[in-house]
Structure 1
Amino acid sequence: MALPEGVQYRDIDGEQRLATRGEAVYGEPVADGWRAWDAHRSKVGAMYELGMEPGLERGGGVLYLGAANGTTVSHVADVCGPTYAVEFAARPMGDLLSVAETRENLIPLLKDARKPETYAHVVESGLDVLVQDVATRGQARVARANRQFLADDGHLCLAIKARSEDATRDPGDVFADALDELRETYTILDSRRLDPFHADHLAVVAEPR
C-alpha cells in the first residue's frame, strides 16, 4: 500500500509510527515536526495500519462527518485541502474550534450529519473524500444522503459502529445489512473489521456508483 503524500512512517520515540506533519492536538508524541497518528484513537489511522487505502490525497477536498474533538480530522486536514468538519454535539465543538485555529483549511460546522440540507449552502460539491465516523443508527443512510457532496470519482471512507446500529444483534449481521444498503449508492472497494484497534467496527472504502 502506498501512503499518500503527507503521511509517513517516522521514527518517533524509538519506533516506527504512522505520522503526519503538523501541530500536536491530543498529546501525541512529535519528532521533527511529525506527529504520531494513533490508530487506537483514529478509525482512519487504523485503516492505514491495516493496509487499506482511504483515498486521502494532498490538496484534496474532504467532508468529515463526526469530527468530535478533532483527533482524526486534524490529521486529515494536515494532509488534505479544504476539510469541512461536521459535528453535532456542542461540547466537543470547543476543542474542534481550537484545532482549527492553527489549520486554515479546517472548517468546523456545528451541524447534524443526518441533515445535509442544513450545510449544503456551505460545503462545496465535487469533493475528493467523504470521511464518516458517526455513532448513530442508520449510518449507511447518512453516507448515502451525503453522497451529493462527493465527486463521481471520489471515495467514501466509512467506519460503521455496530453497537450504534443495534447493540442486541451480532455485529456481522449489522455490517452485512449496512453494506447492502450502501450498495444502492456506492460500489464497495474494500471492507475490513478494525480489530484490534476498534472493536465491533467495520471500515469501508467505496466509490459512487
Structure 2
Amino acid sequence: MAFGEFCCIFVDCADCLRRIRWTWRLFWARWPGRSNARRRRPRKGFCPWCAKRSRSRWSTSRRGRGRGAPRGRGAPRGRGGAGGSNTVLEPHRHPGVFIAKGKEHMLVTKNLVPGESVYGEKRISIDGGVDGTKIEYRVWNPFRSKLAAGVLSGLDNIFIAPGKKVLYLGAASGTSVSHVADIVGPEGVVYAVEFSPRSGRDLITMAKKRTNVIPIVEDARLPNKYRMLISTVDVIFADVAQPDQARIVVHNAQSFLRENGHVVISIKASCIDSTAPPDVIFASELQKLKEGRFKPIEQVTLEPYERDHAMVTAQYRRHAS
C-alpha cells in the first residue's frame, strides 16, 4: 500500500489530506510499481495530524458543494456564448453587424449557414425568427479579424453592407471573409483573393458552404490573372501586409472598383518599414493613395487589438482631375 493511500484511512481533515496528497504526488506518484488499489473511506471525526476536529472531506456542506460538484479547472465550460432570455440583440451602426448584450457585450454577425462554424468561434441563438424559431449569430473576435478591430475602434463607415460586392485582398484561410459573407448576405458577393496555396485550401473549404464567397488563389499584385473572374465591385478590403500594399490596392481599384467606390485598408507599419515611426508610415501610405486618385476619408488605430496598425478608408475617383 502506498503512503498516500495509507494516510487516507486515518486522516479525515480536508486540509491535512490535501497536503499529504501533494507530498505523495511529488515524491511517490512516479515510483515504479506503485499500488493503484481503491482508497478506503476514512473514518469521520478527530484529525490526528492537526489535533482538531474538522469537517470531513466527504461532507456535502463543505464550501457548499457535494463531493462530485465540478469546480476549478476541471469544471465543464459549456458553450460559453450561448444566448438566453437575458441576451439582447441590438443593431450596430454598421448594417449587417450586431451587438449581443448579456453577461458581456459581443460583436456578432448573423450566421449565413446556421449550425456551422468556420474557425471554432462561439455561436449564440436568439429568439426572433419566424414562428418562434431562433436565429443563430456568430461572435466576431476583434483579436482575429482586423475588420472587427476597426469596427470596435470607431470607424464611422466600413462601406460593407447587405447586398454589396466586395473584393477581399489577403483573405488567408477565410476567418474574416466568413463574417464579411455574413454581412453582405445571400444577395451580396465576396471575391476572396489569397496567394498562399495552403491557406487557399482552407478558404475553398469554407466557400463550399458559403456560396456567396468566390475563392481566388492568385497573387494580388497581378490582377490581370483573375480579371475574368471578377465583375465591378463596390468595396475593396485589403489586408495583404506587404511593402507595396498601396500599389496593390491602386492596381486592383483600376481594374475592378466602380467610380466613387470605397477601399478599406489595414496598414501594418512594420511590414512596410520597421525602422520608421508608425505615424510616418501611415502618412506615406495616404500620400500614395492620393496619387492613385483616392480621397482619404478616415483613419483609426487598432489599439489594443493590433500593435502599430491603422485602418484607412478612402473613396475612389477614377475620373477626377
Normalising by structure 2, we get a TM-score of: 0.62
Which of residues 218, 237, 249 in structure 2 aligns to 1:111? Answer: 218
Give the strand-richer structure, 1 or 2: 1
Which residue number corresponds to residue 199 of structure 2? 92
Find the aligned partners of 1:11 and 1:111 in 2 and give their Cα distance: 40
Deviation at 1:155, TM superposition (A): 1.2
Which of residues 229, 249, 258 in structure 2 aligns to 1:122? Answer: 229
What amino acid sits opposite 1:58 in the alignment? P
Residues 1:59 and 2:167 aligned together: no
What amino acid sits opposite 1:204 in the alignment? V
What amino acid sits opposite 1:43 in the alignment? K
Which of residues 15, 20, 36 in structure 1 aligns to 2:139? Answer: 36
What amino acid sits opposite 1:57 in the alignment? A
Find the aligned partners of 1:133 and 1:206 in 2 and give their Cα distance: 15
Which residue number corresponds to residue 193 of structure 1? 301
Superposed CA RMSD in Å reads 1.3
- Percent same amino acid at aligned positions? 41
Deviation at 1:141, TM superposition (A): 0.8
What are the Cα deviations for residues 172-208 of structure 1, in whole angstroms up to 9, with x where unaligned?
A: 1111111110112211110111111111111001111
Task: State the aligned residue count.
Answer: 206
Secondary structure of the residue aligned to 1:121 is: helix
Deviation at 1:83, TM superposition (A): 0.6
Which of residues 248, 252, 258 in structure 2 aligns to 1:151? Answer: 258
Detail structure 1 runs of 4+ shifted over 6 Å in the superposition: none
5+ long unaligned stretches in structure 1: none
Deviation at 1:50, TM superposition (A): 1.5
Residues 1:204 and 2:308 aligned together: no
What amino acid sits opposite 2:94 in the alignment? L
What are the Cα deviations for residues 125-174 of structure 1, in whole angstroms up to 9, with x where unaligned?
A: 1x111000002111111111111211213210100111111122221111
5+ long unaligned stretches in structure 2: 1-91, 126-135
Which residue number corresponds to residue 107 of structure 2? 18
Find the aligned partners of 1:131 and 1:24 in 2 and give their Cα distance: 23
| Partners of 2:153 and 2:301 within 8 A in 1 | no
Find the aligned partners of 2:175 and 2:212 in 1 and give their Cα distance: 15
Deviation at 1:11, TM superposition (A): 3.7
Normalising by structure 1, we get a TM-score of: 0.94
What amino acid sits opposite 1:62 in the alignment? V
Which residue number corresponds to residue 98 of structure 2? 8
Find the aligned partners of 2:118 and 2:100 in 1 and give their Cα distance: 18
What are the Cα deviations for residues 71-121 of structure 1, in whole angstroms up to 9, with x where unaligned?
A: 101100111111100000111111111111110010000011111111111
Find the aligned partners of 2:300 and 2:152 in 1 and give their Cα distance: 12
What amino acid sits opposite 1:3 in the alignment? H
Instruction: Pick the structure with greater CA Rg.
Output: 2
Find the aligned partners of 1:48 and 1:37 in 2 and give their Cα distance: 10
Which is worse superposed, 74-83 or 16-25?
16-25
